[in-house]
Amino acid sequence: MAALVLTCGIFAFPRTARAAAGDLALHNPYASVDFASAGQYKANLHTHTTESDGAHHSQTVFDKYAELGYDFLALTDHDVYKSFDARGVTNMHGIVGIPGNEYSGAQHVGSLFNTTTRSFGSTSEEIAAGAAASGGEGRFVINHPGRNAVFVMETLSGKGLYSAEWFAELYLSNSEAFGMEVYNQQNRYPNDRIIWDRVLIETLPTRAVWAVAADDNHGAHYGYNAVIALLQEEDKTPAGLRDALDAGAFFATSFVAGLPSLGTARWDDAPAVDDIIVDAAAGTITIEARNCSNIQWITGDKQTGTRVIAEGADLTVFNYKENTDKINKYVRPLLINQTGEITCETIIQPFAVARPPKSGCNAGAANAAVPLVLFCAVFFIKTSSRH
Ligand SMILES: [Zn+2]
Ligand SMILES: [Zn+2]
């Protein structure tokens, strides 16, 4: 039985998170995870092979990710989908393969759980149409949005095509769009996180956009990044991973600096999370973490994208009620481990913070296994013609 609540990426604040009517509500993406029994499975959702511009054959790529202990692997060649069979993969070593490709227009889009190739332009409708072409199973993530300085300026200034509003429209009108890639290779595009934080303050509280870390491996970046999915063992399947991605029940971990050479990432030293406890009455989020030399608590900022509101080596407890004046829509913990030259970071997904609507809005039960789509007239819902 899946321990996750599937919300199709659009969530409402569950009643259980409210201390009292009119009080602050917190959306905890990990609320349904049983940390005691869940496994933490490593996924790389962005990889290239000789089917596009990667250096290694698909089988070699599986061999190497198996050596590195990965549980899920998506082969996402540029603008081409090919089955694992057609690629000549004969031994997946127990890794769960995720079909996909990378639509490579002006924005690059990681298309996952999708067995079609579809060329597309750069409008949100075209991107969504490509991802949705897989019978409702497809999901997509905007890859490395900060690789182009113009995109960053457009997002922050609101002038130009890729404004924060453009991203927000894409995410708010497409429940298949679960995330944004914010770590690529080592730390190729730090601006990815600036764009992500800026976009979050547009999409929340209606829905969150989850952070993804991925290798974008072309042959020289094996095992620098991973999505760490929190799953019961029986859910180590494509559908189980998809549920975790929809719900935000995962972390994004990246070795951002200092690895001496390829394949030397020591995942045992990566910042890791043993439990996340929300006390709604006290207004606290507690992170039980290992391998952590610093913790930052971050919110979004209209001018700068990312804003750190608290920081400290022992800051494992954050009181969101006492810090409401510092919080802009959400707070997210960032775990950092610096050991010698090596720095590794783990993003815990954002906790949306809001005052629930006073009346006429039914947020639904926290354990309802149905999409919690609409509960308030103020939500931006565009009628979808794709179903
Ligand atoms: Zn790309
Ligand atoms: Zn790529």
Read off the pLDDT of residues 43-88 as tens digits, 9 standing for 90 and up.
999 999 999 999 999 999 999 999 999 999 999 999 889 999 999 9
For residue 105, give the ligand nearest its CA.
1
CA of 375 to the centre of ligand 1 (A): 36
187 C-alpha to ligand 2 centroid (Å):
14
Instruction: Give me ligand 1 centre to Cα 104, in Å.
Output: 6
* Chain position carrying tokens 């409708």: 125
pLDDT at residue 9 tops 50:
no
The two tokens of residue 74 are: 């998506």
The answer to whether 294 touches 312, Cβ cutoff 8 Å, is yes
| Percentage, residues of the chain above pLDDT 70 | 81
Going from the Cα of 360 to the center of ligand 1, the distance in angstroms, rounded, reads: 44
Query: What's the 60 CA to ligand 1 centre distance in angstroms?
Result: 21
CA of 144 from ligand 1 middle (Å) equals 7
Greater confidence, 382 or 166? Answer: 166
**Alpha carbon of 165 to ligand 2 centroid (Å):** 25
pLDDT of residue 131: 64
Burial class from Cβ neighbours inside 10 Å (0-12, 13-18, 19+) for residue 376 reads middle
Output the pTM of the full model: 0.87
- pLDDT tens readout for residues 169-178: 999 988 889 9
pLDDT, position 365: 36
359, two tokens = 């009346």
Determine the topology of domain 15-259+275-354 in CATH. Answer: TIM Barrel (3.20.20)
- What mean pLDDT is predicted for residues 91-96? 98
Is the Cβ–Cβ distance between 203 and 209 less than 8 Å?
yes
What are the boundaries of each domain within the chain? 15-259+275-354
Comparing C-alpha atoms, which of 333, 74, 370, 310 is closest to residue 211? 333
Q: How far is the CA of 148 from the centre of ligand 1 (A)?
A: 11
pLDDT tier, 205 (very low <50, low <70, confident <90, very high otherwise) = very high
pLDDT confidence of 214, banded at 50, 70, 90?
Answer: very high
Selected residue with higher pLDDT from 271 and 79: 271
